[in-house]
Structure 1
Amino acid sequence: MKAASISKGERIQSLDVLRGFSLLGILMVNIFDFSGPQLYRTSLVQSGGGLDRLVEIFVFVFAQASFYPLFSFLFGAGGVMFYKRIGDKGLLPERFFARRMTGLLIIGVLHAFFIWHGDILISYALIGFLFMLFIEKSAKALAVWSLSLIFIPNILFSLLLAGDGAVPNADDNTERITAVYQSGSFSEIMGQRAEDWFYVNNPIMAPFIVLSILPMFLLGAYAMKRGWFERSPSEETIKKWLVIALITGPSGILIKTMPVLDPQSGLWSYLHQSIGGPLLTMFYITAILAAVQKLGFKKVYKPFAYAGRASMSNYLLQSLILTLLFYSYGFGLYGTMTSFQAILTGTGVYIILLAASYYWFKRFEQGPAERWWRWFVYRRS
């Protein structure tokens, strides 16, 4: 039997809504890296006061470290759905999933080294091969593995930081980096982009990257196997979502606020990323799933679903638009915007993506990047 990508009728709207929402959160965090050398600063909260500081604190608490985990969660859920659809056709899901990860890796490499250094797709693709070892395990096993990988390593690292956990000093190369992106040649920007990518994606950081992504893959796979994305979930499931939201929301916000109150603490800075981020991720997931099922504000969440249907295309397109806006081969605005101006710019770009997605899907079934990915997975010999 011939394999095929998911049809419009098979799409799960709650997944698309969450994907569209995650694109907004990712953009609100990444806009600081598109517009300036945020990668080499110790904290997103840099301004001394005023509207800029309020914007930075809001993004730091409510978005940073919570939306890439959301994307990872959805990746895991989608992986289970992919495996099931291929397996139901009597085919080998491992073969097609391996192709899927290879195609994702190709897209990620092009994105990271020719458009923007902050690519996450390379990590998703490589960790996706590791995910294949877990994807067919039971829901219970997936939950145990996920929670163990989230809490055990992070508790151990936290104990180490509790003794002498000062925030490291910021990198002093920000002026040089700003000059490269603001007025450097394309080849200079290419070199800086590669340097930035390797600054994060290196052997020392690799275990931390795996431990931040793989557990959320597993948690998403667990949720899919537990029926979280069924079109008509039971009242019991919805009540469980609300309980999870009531627990994870306040606890996540509390942990993520602590580095603002104690900015010199390396421990709180670490917990903000490793524990607070995933907790708030689970709040967003469960609260949105419950809202979609119970409140029915279709006009509010439908635009997110359009953006989510082309989540990869929109992720790549936002990078293309913003690098053209901020880098020297475009408008050269790198390092010139305040935090408030950057957030307004990011919001404007997201609104453009929503409108583009709406009109695109009036004519087409898939986004352009998704269409190429489908061809690579299903039609390559």
Structure 2
Amino acid sequence: MPFPPRLRTPAGTDAVPGGRRIPEVDVLRGFALLGILLVNAQAMAGPRLDPAGGPAASRADEVAAWLLTMLVSGKFYLLFAFLFGYCLTRQRLSAERAGAPFAPRHLRRLCCLFALGTVHGAVLFRGDILVTYAVLSLVLYAARDIALRTAVRTAAGLVAVVAAFLLTWGLCTVAVAAPPDPRHAAAATRAAAAAYQGEPAAVVLANLRSLRDTLGWNVLYGADVLAACLLGVAAGRRRLLAGTGRHRAPMVRTVACALPLGLAGGVLTAICRNGPLDARWYDVGSAVGVLTAPALTAAYACGLLLLLGARPGRRVAGVLAAAGRLSLTHYLTQSLVMALVFTGHGLGWYGRHGTVAVLAGALLLYAAQLSAGPWLLRRARYGPAEWLLRAATLARRP
């Protein structure tokens, strides 16, 4: 099931020892952009509000939000994190081929990611992940020579700890806390809408407050991200994505076993988060999601590679691979467009549209990015953000 030769582009950070990129890595990264966009778009758009400032979700919006939680939320950031860890091993090989020390390159790269993430999180989107990647890069560098079995066991232990904490916290909340007052939730939603529909300075302040208030949870979920990164490091050292045709049978078994488990976990997560249970069950649903989302993520990744490895899917693979090569540029562009639409940086449409309309707009944006990717790469080797990150990594003009 080899990918077509035309996808094997010049050397880059995802290069195999022969100096060529791994197209499967780019394909998966381009696919992950879709899931990230769908989740982030709903977060930036906010819940739809009626003229009085209260929730106004239609039945279609409720179903769309339920499906989003079941099939998308919590799945695609794991795929990105896995690929982030995988590419760390490729970057180390690239430094060795160039005869350059890896540590300075790695430090410059994570500093650039941290700077980009800080600006991105403060100005555009409070759900930034780049700062988390930058911080975890230090951990991954320390664990760069970790034994493969130890990496897998550590990842499993981190997932178990995060899930156990969320489950304990959630069950204590259910047992102790009173049922939530809808008026309090409506007041918080109106306050958020007022901030994000206001002046750009109000948007930045709201983002900073959100980053401060969610710092503890970000640290907790950072352990889940680290688990996926460690699995990526283990897979990268085994070069599992460098020619997935030889792994067809294991991938088929992964889809057959992981898909039912992941879907079942997604249903339970959606029941706890989106109803009919009240908001006290949210963290219980999150615990189920942490335990079962990796299964659905693995099923998605293996299923996609199986489908696109066949002849009819090769053209789609080329488009996804182009998007994957521009993933950082696309990720930041998504946030910029959504900030211009939903916040006071532009139209200020926060709370104006329901889930269906927001997801439809996100799909249009993703389609535009897929169309723009091959066009841009015919004219430049890197996207703007990729060029900047590579320049910082190499300490010279790419």
The TM-score with structure 2 as length reference comes to 0.85
Kept in 1, the 8 Å contact 2:14–2:90? The answer is no
1:375 partner letter: A
Do 2:42 and 2:355's aligned partners in 1 also have CA atoms closer than 8 Å? yes
1-structure distance, mates of 2:31, 2:62: 24
1:127-150 residue CA offsets vs partner (Å, 9 max, x unmatched):
111111212223222222212222
Q: State yes or no: 1:374 paired with 2:390.
A: yes
Correspondence for 1:181 = 196
Q: What does residue range 130-141 of structure 1 map to in structure 2 within 5 Å?
A: 130-141=139-150
- Check whether the contact 1:14–1:292 (CA below 8 A) recurs between aligned residues: no
Instruction: State the partner residue of 1:86.
Output: 95
Percent of residue pairs bearing the same amino acid type? 24
- 1-structure distance, mates of 2:69, 2:166: 22
Q: CA deviation at 1:152?
A: 4.3
Determine the C-alpha separation between the residues in 2 that align with 1:215 and 1:260.
23
Deviations 1:296-334 (A, max 9, x none): 511223221111110000000011111111122312211
What is the alpha-carbon distance in structure 1 between the residues aligned to residue 221 and residue 393 of structure 2? 26
Q: Aligned-pair distance for 1:87? A: 2.2
Structure 1 pair 52–161 and aligned structure 2 pair: CA distance change class (3 A) = closer
* Contact 1:255–1:268 (Cα < 8 Å) also in 2: no
Superposed, which structure 2 residues align to 1:54-203 within 5 Å?
54-155=63-164, 157-158=166-167, 161-162=170-171, 165=174, 169=180, 171=185, 172-182=187-197, 184-200=198-214, 202=215
DSSP 3-state at the match of 1:113: helix
Q: Counterpart in 2 of 1:43?
A: none
**Distance in 1 (alpha carbons) for counterparts of 2:206 and 2:75:** 27
Unaligned runs of 5+ in 2: 1-10, 49-54
Q: Distance in 1 between matches of 2:32 and 2:249?
A: 23
Q: Deviations over 1:254-303 (max 9, x none)?
A: 01111434534356412243112222111112222333334651122322
Partner residue of 1:41? none
Q: d(CA) in 2 for partners of 1:115 and 1:266?
A: 26
Distance 2:251 2:14 in 1: 28
- Alignment partner of 2:230 out of 181, 194, 218: 218
1:374 Cα offset (Å): 0.8
Amino acid at match of 1:315: Y
Q: Which residue of 2 aligns with 1:229?
A: 241
Aligned 8 A contact 2:45 2:349 in 1: yes
Paired residue total:
366
> SS where residue 281 of structure 1 aligns?
helix
1:345 — aligned with what?
A: 361
Superposed CA deviations along residues 240-267 of structure 1, whole A, max 9, x for unmatched, are 1222222221111101111434534356
Residues 1:305 and 2:305 aligned together:
no
For residues 285 and 47 of structure 1, what CA distance do their matches in structure 2 show? 35
Q: Which amino acid aligns with 1:363?
A: R
The aligned residue for residue 42 of structure 2 is 32
TM-score by length of 1: 0.88
Given that 1:77 and 1:222 are in contact with CA atoms closer than 8 Å, whether structure 2 keeps it comes out as: yes
Letter in 2 for 1:289: L
2:345 is the counterpart of 1:324: no
Contact 1:37 1:177 in 2 (8 A): no
Cα deviation for residue 85 of structure 1 reads: 1.6
Provide the rounded CA distance (Å) in 2 between the counterparts of 1:5 and 1:138. 26
Kindly state the Cα deviation for residue 160 of structure 1 after the two structures are TM-superposed.
5.9
Q: Secondary structure at the residue paired with 1:222?
A: helix
**Deviation per residue, 1:190-209 (Å, 9 max, x gap):** 11121122222x2x325412
1:144-173 CA distance string (max 9 Å, x none):
221222224424653564566469847542
- 2:27, 2:317 within 8 Å by CA — same for their partners in 1? yes
Q: Is the 8 A contact 1:77 1:217 kept in 2?
A: yes
Distance 2:165 2:123 in 1: 38
Gap change, CA 1:233 and 1:301, over 3 Å in 2: closer
SS at match of 1:297: helix
Q: Which residue of structure 1 aligns with residue 5 of structure 2?
A: none
> 1:368: Cα distance to partner?
0.5
Task: Quote the residue 1:42 is aligned against.
Answer: none
Query: Which amino acid counterpart does residue 148 of structure 2 have in structure 1?
Result: A
Amino acid at match of 1:173: A
What SS does the aligned partner of 1:205 have? helix
The aligned residue for residue 242 of structure 1 is 252
Contact 1:325 1:333 in 2 (8 A): yes
